[in-house]
Amino acid sequence: MNETASSLPIARLKPRFTLSWLLWLLPLLALFIVSILLYQAQQQRGIPLTIEFQQGYGIKTGDTLRYRGIEIGQVYRVRLSDDLQKVLVDIYLAKNAASIARQGSRFWIVRPQLDITGASGLETVVGANYISVLPNKEASQPQTHFVGLDMPLSITDLDAGGVEILLQTSGKGMLKRGAPVLYRQVAIGTILNVDLDTDSSAVVVHAYIKPEYTHFIRENARFWKISGMRVSAGWTGVDFQMDSLYSVIAGGIGLAIPSDYGALASTEKRFPLYDEPQEDWLQWTAYIAPDSQHLTNLANYPKPLWATLSWQNKRLAFWRETQQQAWVLPVQDGFLAPKSVLIPPDGVENPVLAIGDLTINLQTITPIIYNGDLAILPYTHNFSAVSLPLSPIINTYPEPINSLVIADATTSPHPIKAERYQKYDDVWLLQDKQAFSPSWLGAPVIATETGELLGILIVTDNLVGVSLLIGNPLIEKDKTTAK
């Protein structure tokens, strides 16, 4: 019995290797692969944007988003808002156009339109409607939700570098989108939109000014509505004037700029839009230099300083203070300016010249007569100085040339064409005596082409002109002293 039991085989336990762990690894691996594929698919689709429109105008899934005729996105869903008041269009924006997804970009649906301003969107007559965009090229925050425009813009009219201005008026009148903004009957811009203000208190006109005309938008500019027709009656009868048929139908906006046009207007400024121009506006003549980006060597231009000459004189036992103001030009070892601001009248007391924070007692310094109109005050200073020529300007430029009048940094250079001058000895007189106000007295005048200093602007009741430089009397004085 025992022998039988001992002959039975003995079971030996061995560890069994199975692939059960793969049952957990394979789903995780599949999930990882799917995640990668989804991420790649999302990357290929682009950046999701949502645009609100008041009307859908037949836009549908698969339609495109375009900029300058190039497809940069695609509509993947069109739906109604929760309150059923708006159409929401979801778009995938191409990665290489990501800079469009920023605050200030404007979207609209391109569709066939035919009106007095012309035809647009005709390619959608036989093809699908699409969405177009005008990017905000200025630095702004990223954005993915936009409110689309009800009316399309014309990309061809909105070149890079132009500015948009706001005009406020009491009523719309004849103004329509696409009507021109005119300066001297030259179209310098176009009306983008006409709508009520946010509080419905006025009508706001959005207008675009082309890049080459942005320097016309000044603080003192005046805008008015152009109706195309003007009728006036008087003792001599009825006077009827009509502009172009286009302006009669579409209207437009007129612009006038005074000679004292002021600084460039800020983009936040809202101009009043008048129903009609005043008579003197139509007579204004403004001479405006090109925008600073078209001028060279701005950093090397003369930098004049505003100066005030004050003195006291006694009348009937009372002391009275009188002032004379003008620009002075820092030169090496002194200041060049009209004599009226450097040489006080005879018999006065306490003549003082104030230039910024600098105060100079003229009782202790004698100015040097430079020519018939100008003087130099010898004085050591730390201002940025210009060098006076060694020989008279008239030797280099025997005839008048195109020039620019320079004032402070906030005022654009004022151009003067050569044909506006009349040569008279060492002065170039301007035929238009109203071209400059007294606030320009003493401003330096430079050559437009080279930036070379030509002279100093003289403004009096009787004449306006440029007193040309005749050399450097300070050097001549040093030579005489050395002898």
End-to-end CA distance of the chain: 151
* 79 phi/psi in degrees, rounded to 5: -150, 165
Which pLDDT score, from 0 to 100, does residue 293 have?
A: 45
Q: Is residue 8 part of a domain?
A: no
* Chain CA centroid to CA 392, Å: 39
325 and 457 part of one domain: yes
CA 303 from chain center: how many Å? 23
Closest to 469 in 3D by CA, of 480, 459, 458, 481: 458
Core vs surface per residue 115-131: b (16+ CB within 10 A) or e: eebeebbeebeeeebbb
- How far apart CA 368 and CA 120 sit, in angstroms, is 69
Distance CA(258)–CA(221), nearest Å, equals 7
Among 258, 286, 314, residue at a domain's last position:
286
pLDDT on residue 374: 93
Residue 481 φ then ψ, to 5°: -65, -40
Q: Which helix (H) or strand (E) holds 479?
A: helix 473-482
CA distance 100 to 388: 52
pLDDT at 128: 79
Q: What SS3 class is residue 22?
A: helix
CATH number at residue 454: 2.40.10.120
Of the candidates 144, 154, 276, which has an alpha carbon nearest to the alpha carbon of residue 207? Answer: 154
H or E segment to which residue 340 belongs: helix 339-342
Chain Cα centroid distance, residue 61: 39
**Among 286, 320, 353, residue at a domain's last position:** 286
- One domain, residues 100 and 183: no
Task: Report yes or no: 90 and 66 within 8 Å, Cβ to Cβ.
Answer: no
Neighbours of 405 (CB within 10 A): 23
- Is 416 part of any domain? yes
Shared domain for 418 and 463, answered yes or no, is yes
Is 133 part of a structural domain of the chain? yes
Residues 464 and 328 placed together within one structural domain of the fold: yes
Clarify whether residues 438 and 369 are in a common domain: yes
Is-contact 255 222, C-beta < 8 A?
A: yes
Rounded to two decimals, the pTM is 0.55
Q: Could you tell me if 375 and 277 lie in one domain?
A: no
Residues 66 and 131 placed together within one structural domain of the fold: yes
Kindly write down the DSSP assignment for every residue of 414-476, as one continuous string. Answer: EEE-GGGEEEETTEEEES-TTSS-GGGTT-EEEETTT--EEEEEEE-SS-EEEEE----HHHH
Q: How far apart are CA 404 and CA 300, in angstroms?
A: 14
Query: Which H or E run contains 226?
Result: strand 222-226
Residue 6 in any domain: the answer is no
Contacts of 394 (CB under 8 A, 6+ apart): 426, 468, 470
Q: What is the largest CA-CA distance in the chain?
A: 159
Residue 57, φ and ψ in degrees, nearest 5: 50, 40
- Do 476 and 391 fall within a single domain? yes
pLDDT digits (tens, 9 = 90+) for 183-210: 988 889 888 888 888 788 899 998 888 8
Q: How many CB atoms are closer than 10 A to CB 217? A: 24
Are residue 337 and residue 417 in the same domain, yes or no? yes
Q: Are residues 131 and 173 in the same domain?
A: no
Structural tokens at position 42: 């999302």
Say whether both 329 and 402 belong to one domain: yes
- Asked if 294 and 430 sit in the same domain, the reply is yes
| Domain ranges, residue 173 | 157-286
Residue finishing a domain among 153, 175, 203: 153
- Containing 44, the helix (H) or strand (E) segment is helix 22-45
pLDDT tens digits for range 19-55 = 566 666 778 888 888 888 777 766 667 899 999 999 9
- Ranges of the chain with pLDDT below 70: 1-8, 11-24, 41-44, 113-127, 138-139, 152-161, 228-250, 267-268, 289-300, 316-317, 409-410, 473-483
Q: Give domain status of residue 442, yes or no.
A: yes
Residues in the chain: 483
Number of domains in the chain: 3
